Structure formats: C-alpha cells, structure tokens
Structure 1
C-alpha cells in the first residue's frame, strides 16, 4: 500500500536500501579481505617461529628468528629501521623473564616499528604497510642448503674437472680405468717405453 499511495517515498527508500546494502557488502568484503590478510600474517609468523628448530611449536618466536624475519621481510632498511631498533623493540614487547614473543606481542612489535619504517603515513596506514611486508613470507634460506650440497657433490664427482693423477684414473666417458689408472704398469718386453713397433720383428723376418 505504501508504494501505491506514496510512490516517491517508495523509490526513495529503495535507493536508500540499495545504498545501505552496497555499503554493507563493501564492509563485509573488507572484513573478509582483512581476515585473509591476518591469516597470512599468522602463517608467516609460524614459519619463522619454527625455522631452524625442530622442537618449536610455531606459537612463539625467539629473538634470533625475529631478527631474521625483520631482515628477510625488509623491515630493516638501514635508513629508517636498523637491527638495533629491532632488538630494542623485541625486548620491549616480550615478558621480562621470557626469551620469546607470542603472536600478539609480535604484532605489537610491528606496530612499534611501523611509524619508523613508514614515515609520512598515518599510524593505521603504516601498520597496514608493515603487515604487507610480512604477509605470505617465509625464511629466505629454505632449500638453499640442499642446493648447495648438491652443487658441491656435482663438482666433486664431475670427472671432466679432475686434474693430474686423478684425471688419469678415468677415461673420456668418465669410467674408471681400474688398476691401470691407479698404477704405472711396467711391461718387461725388452723395448723402451717410447718404441712404437713392438711385436713387428718376427713379422718382418718372415717376410724376408
């Protein structure tokens, strides 16, 4: 009945409802996006928390890994944030008797460093920028040791790179020569080593 009696009022309310719904949806998507970002931040925290420690639970971050996180995620930029700043903030947010920080303390540490790292931004903007540096990141040396070992093994087992007496132990295909490659075998044939016509004397005699 309202739309028939007062069409203008109905249209106005439709527009109002539409704008309200749009705002509500936008707010909802914003909350969802923020939630996903926080999940990525937590995941990054856990990855650094267990780095180099098989007994770590991922719930606490020690000072060494906190410093590594700040370096790997480029929070430390020398100009605005130094390694000293990172150490000071870690000591500030952790419990006095503790050597680690929880996730909440970790976030407070980022909040402390944010204005210093992103000068010129508002407090909230700086904090979001700081979160972006960390979200989805992991320790940078994951897998490096394995690659390094593989390269070293390849280098040591590549017979083409061998020199001196080691080179003589393998043929051109890389196959070992056995005893021939390890020892200088002396043949008592009566010929000097440089003589190349060994075994041809009898043949020449018969031909005559």
Structure 2
C-alpha cells in the first residue's frame, strides 16, 4: 500500500490490505501469472491480461480437478461475480479483483465440500487453492501421438480386416479377385456362401416346408412343379400341398 506525502509516494510494505484482509502482493502476482498462462493458451484472440471464461474453465479443471459440481459452481458463481460486465473478462492487472476471486473461490469450494472442509476456515481453504494453482503453473497440453507406421496399419494389414473386407483376401494377404467380391451360383441352383454364416438360407438340404418342396434332393430347383398346384385329368390337385385333394 502506498502512502502519499505531498508529491511523494512511499511504499510501506510488500503486503496489500484488501477489504480488511492481508494478502501477499507477490502471491497475487504469481497467481496472476498462472492465470495469464492459461489465458494465452486458451484465448489467443484476447489480450493476455483479459482472462476469458474459456481460460477460466480450463484453469479450474487443471488446478482444482474434474469434479463436475466444483467446475459448474466455479463457472456459474465465481467468474460472473468478478468479470467485467462489458468485456466478460477478468482483468488480471486489477490485483484487488484477483484477490477477491481467490476469496470467492474458497467460499464456493467450501460449500461444495461440506464434509471435508466443514471445520476449515475459509482463509485456510483459500491457501490450499492458491497452492494448487501455483503448483500447476501452466495448463495441461495433451499432444496427439503420431503412429510410427503412419496410422494406417489397420487399413493396409489384411490380417486385421473383418467382415466382407476380410473375405476379399486370402491368408497370405493376396486379393481373391472376383471370387472375393461376388456371390456365385453353382449348377445345383443355390448360392454359395463365402463365409458359411448364411448356410441356412443357401443350403437347400436345410430348407423346410414350402421352400423345401421347390428343390429336389440334389438341390436343383423343380421349376413350376415346385411352386404351383396342377390339376390332372383325374380331378386331383398334385403338388407338395395338394396331393390327394379332390376338386
């Protein structure tokens, strides 16, 4: 705090009195520096000393943990309390406001942790939070790991293919050509399954009911004889369902 005598200013100490509380000037400076680091990384289009809500949210997550309740309360109850109503930012050059931020953070944190911090004074909770902030120093940056193979091994290694793609290559990785891409028909009249998973649909020996009657024992289709009722001269309906039925 500065005491003015005439045209001279005298710095009395390195401690500032704000709202009746004692706060270390160097501590506030250090906190502002951490806030600034978060702001530079997360709000590149804003001045470093104008901390945005986005940078604030990242700071809360990295410094105070990923507790959803705490993050939401810090976003809804703390930042709006100190932000500039016009710019929607926190002025990091205003140390009194930053000091107020720390007080408000401690109050909200204590409310969110009633069991753990029930008997802990707000001032002590504040010191815990300040320590976490100063220990973090910089925001966490998760770099994208580059694959040594270029990240396309699952596209080029045929042994990792599944489903229809797998059926297009043999065990050596060589393409099967048209046999790996199209369904083929044998003379028996039914479709050959590449995987065998649909044998119940393509193996005529497994057909039942009306479907079974459309094919002979070799698997060859009976044509119209297997599909329609026919009348003989004797007046009976022949066919798989109508045998012996008098008309």
Instruction: With the length of structure 2 as denominator, give the TM-score of the two structures.
Output: 0.43
Q: Is the 8 A contact 1:41 1:135 kept in 2?
A: yes
1:100 CA drift (Å): 0.7
Partner of 1:156: 152
CA contact (8 A) 1:40 1:135 kept: yes
**Conserved 8 A contact 1:114-1:130:** yes
Distance 1:48 1:35 in 2: 20
Give the Å deviation of 1:93. 0.9
Do 1:89 and 1:112's aligned partners in 2 also have CA atoms closer than 8 Å?
yes
2:113 is the counterpart of 1:113: no
Partner of 2:125: 126
Deviation, 1:139, is 2.6
Task: Find the aligned partners of 1:182 and 1:107 in 2 and give their Cα distance.
Answer: 69
Greater share of strand: 2
Contact 2:61/2:71 (8 A) holds in 1: no
In structure 2, the partner of 1:100 is: 89
| Number of aligned residues | 138
Q: Which residue of 1 aligns with 2:41?
A: 51
- Larger mean CA deviation between 47-56 and 62-71 belongs to 47-56
The answer on whether the counterparts of 1:73 and 1:134 sit within 8 Å (CA) in structure 2 is yes
Distance 2:41 2:168 in 1: 41
Alpha-carbon contact 1:68-1:139 (below 8 Å) kept: yes
Larger RCO: Structure 1 or Structure 2 (Cα < 8 Å, ≥ 6 residues apart)?
1
The RMSD of aligned alpha carbons is: 3.7
SS at match of 2:38: helix
Q: Using the TM superposition, give the Cα deviation of residue 136 of structure 1 relative to its aligned residue in structure 2, in angstroms.
A: 3.6
Shift of 1:101: 0.4
Q: CA deviation at 1:114?
A: 0.5
Describe the superposition over 1:25-52 as per-residue Cα deviations: whole angstroms up to 9, x where unpaired: xxx9xxxxx6775554233211210223
Q: How far apart in 2 are the matches of 1:76 and 1:162?
A: 37
Larger radius of gyration, structure 1 or 2? Answer: 2
Q: Distance in 2 between matches of 1:90 and 1:152?
A: 43
Normalised TM-score (structure 1): 0.50
Which runs of no fewer than 5 residues in structure 1 stay unpaired? 1-27, 29-33, 172-180, 185-208
Query: Where does the alignment leave 5 or more consecutive residues of structure 2 unmatched?
Result: 1-13, 15-23, 111-116, 178-247
8 A Cα contact 2:82 2:90, kept in partner: yes
Displacement of 1:75 = 6.1
Q: Is the 8 A contact 1:74 1:133 kept in 2?
A: yes
> For 2:57, which of 55, 63, 67 is the aligned residue?
67
- Greater helix percent: which structure? 1
